[in-house]
Amino acid sequence: MEFDYIIAGAGSAGCVLANRLSASGRYQVLLLEAGPKDRYPWLHIPIGYAKTMFHPRYNWRYYTEPDPGMNGRSIYWPRGKVLGGSSAINGLIYVRGQAEDYESWAHMGNKGWSWREVLPYFIRSERNVRGADSFHGGTGPQGVSDIGMPNTLAQAFIDACAEAGVPKNSDFNGESQEGAGPYQLITWKGRRCSSATGYLKPARSRKNLFIETDAQVCRIKFSGTRANAVVFSQRGKMKTAVARREVILSAGALQSPQLLQLSGIGDATTLRNLGIDVLLDRPQVGQNLQDHLQIRVMHRCNEPLTTNDDLRSWSRKIGMAVQYVAKRAGPMAVGINQAGAFVRTRADLERPDIQFHFAALSSDLPGSPLHDFSGFTSSVCQLRPTSRGHLKITSNDPLARPEIHPGYLSTEEDQKTVVAALQVTRRIAQQPALARFIVEEYKPGFDTQTDEALLEFARNNGVTIFHPAGTCRMGIDDNAIVDPSLKVKGVTGLRVVDCSIMPTLVSGNTHAPAVMIAEKAADMILNSV
Going from N- to C-terminal start, the domains of the chain cover 1-47+76-141+192-287+469-529
Distance CA 125, CA 515 (A): 7
DSSP code of residue 370 = B
Burial class (CB in 10 A: 0-12, 13-18, 19+), 128: buried
Residue type, 89: I
Q: What is the pLDDT at residue 377?
A: 97
Catalytic residues, by residue number, are 467
Pairing of strands 354-359, 337-343: antiparallel
Distance CA 185, CA 73 (A): 31
For residue 249, pLDDT beyond 90: yes
Q: Against a cut of 0.95, is the pTM above it? A: yes
Which of the four pLDDT bands, split at 50, 70 and 90, describes residue 2? very high
Pure H helices in 149-267: 152-163, 195, 252-262
Domain 1-47+76-141+192-287+469-529 has CATH 3.40.50.10150: no
> Over the stretch 166-207, which tens digit does the pLDDT of each residue have?
999 999 999 999 999 999 999 999 999 999 999 999 999 999
> Over the stretch 8-39, which tens digit does the pLDDT of each residue have?
999 999 999 999 999 999 999 999 999 999 99
Biggest CA pair distance of the chain: 68
Distance CA 162, CA 170 (A): 13
Distance CA 278, CA 515 (A): 32
- Terminal alpha carbon distance of the chain: 21
Which of the four pLDDT bands, split at 50, 70 and 90, describes residue 50? confident
DSSP code of residue 107 = H
Peptide bond into 444 cis (omega under 30): yes
Cα 48 from chain centroid (whole Å): 17
Counting residues of the chain whose pLDDT is more than 70, the rounded percentage is: 100
Q: What is the pLDDT at residue 529?
A: 65
For residue 149, pLDDT beyond 80: no
Q: Chain-wide mean pLDDT for the chain?
A: 96
> Over the stretch 354-389, which tens digit does the pLDDT of each residue have?
999 999 999 988 878 899 999 999 999 999 999 999
Distance CA 238, CA 353 (A): 47
Which of the four pLDDT bands, split at 50, 70 and 90, describes residue 527? very high
Distance CA 97, CA 114 (A): 13
Mean pLDDT on 322-348: 90
Question: ∠ at Cα 295 (291, 299), nearest 5°?
Answer: 155
Instruction: Please report the sign of the dihedral spanned by the C-alpha atoms of residue 263, residue 268, residue 269, residue 272.
Output: positive
Q: Which H or E run includes 217?
A: strand 215-223
Mean pLDDT on 415-431: 98
